[in-house]
């Protein structure tokens, strides 16, 4: 991912002309994001479908897909676009469904590790989300077929492909088999 040296704001990022690129803003520095690979997209679609199906009959909030921007900090600005995000209903009532980036962190941020991702960058994102107010961050790793859940109390729970992924405090009753998030292993 390439980074520019000029500092810009979230509003300037929002106002940039469409050029076919996907960007995030980290402490005012523009970062070009590479398109995701097929496995990454498959995992994101699977998990997003489980989450939206769960939310369909509940008035808990909304799940957002890739490219939804969240302003995590100001001066300098950081805007992240998690692969999947969940925002509680009461927070959406406060802001409404606005056209611009959501002013704050999602309650749940989900990032799916791509082959080119550096673990140090993924760890930095986890800390950014938690510091900005996320209650939970899920890091989905297709290589290890695991989901690491980071909570506000700095605990980490690792779910293997033999486990059910849950979030009882944030998403009561939600459960999906971790193995079902990944393409089937060849026999």
CA distance 39 to 184: 11
| 19 pLDDT higher than 90 | no
Q: How confident is the model at residue 147 (pLDDT cuts 50, 70, 90)?
A: very high
Q: How confident is the model at residue 119 (pLDDT cuts 50, 70, 90)?
A: confident
In a domain, 29, yes or no: no
In a domain, 28, yes or no: no
Q: Which tokens is 80 given? A: 């992240």
Mean pLDDT within 143-147: 96
- What is the domain-level CATH number for residue 84? 3.90.1570.10
Q: Which tokens is 177 given? A: 């088999």
pLDDT in tens, 34-84: 888 899 999 999 999 999 999 998 999 999 998 899 999 999 999 999 999
In a domain, 1, yes or no: no
In a domain, 175, yes or no: yes
In a domain, 10, yes or no: no
- State the pTM of this model: 0.93
- According to the model, what pLDDT value does residue 185 have? 67
CA distance 123 to 90: 28
Report the number of distinct structural domains present in the chain.
1
**Beta-bridge partners for 24:** 31
In a domain, 151, yes or no: yes
Per the structure, the complete domain to which residue 73 belongs is given by: 36-181
Residues near 66 by beta carbon (within 8 Å), at least 6 away in sequence: 36, 44, 81, 82, 83, 84
| 15 pLDDT higher than 70 | yes
**Beta-bridge partners for 147:** 140, 159
Helix segments in the chain, DSSP class H: 10-15, 38-56, 89-95, 119-132
Q: Which of 111, 117, 103 is nearest to 137 (CA)?
A: 111
Asked if residue 39 lies in contact with residue 69, where contact means CB atoms within 8 angstroms, the answer is no
In a domain, 117, yes or no: yes
| 94 pLDDT higher than 80 | yes
| 17 pLDDT higher than 90 | no
- According to the model, what pLDDT value does residue 5 have? 58
In a domain, 21, yes or no: no
């Amino acid at each position: 991912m390439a980074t520019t040296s000029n500092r810009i704001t979230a509003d300037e990022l929002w106002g940039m002309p469409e050029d076919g690129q996907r960007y995030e803003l980290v402490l005012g520095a523009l970062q070009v994001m590479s398109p995701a690979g097929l496995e990454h997209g498959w995992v994101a679609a699977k998990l997003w479908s489980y989450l939206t199906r769960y939310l369909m009959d509940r008035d808990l909030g909304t799940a957002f897909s890739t490219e939804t921007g969240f302003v995590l900090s100001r001066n300098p600005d950081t805007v992240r676009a998690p692969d999947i995000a969940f925002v509680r209903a009461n927070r959406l009532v406060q802001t409404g469904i606005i056209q611009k980036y959501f002013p704050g962190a999602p309650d749940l941020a989900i990032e799916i590790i791509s082959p080119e991702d550096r673990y140090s960058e993924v760890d930095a994102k986890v800390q950014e989300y938690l510091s900005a107010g996320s209650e939970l961050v899920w890091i989905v790793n297709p290589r290890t077929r695991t989901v690491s859940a980071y909570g506000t109390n700095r605990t980490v729970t690792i779910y293997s492909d033999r486990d059910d992924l849950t979030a009882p405090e944030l998403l009561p009753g939600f459960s999906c088999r971790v193995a079902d998030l990944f393409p089937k292993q060849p026999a």
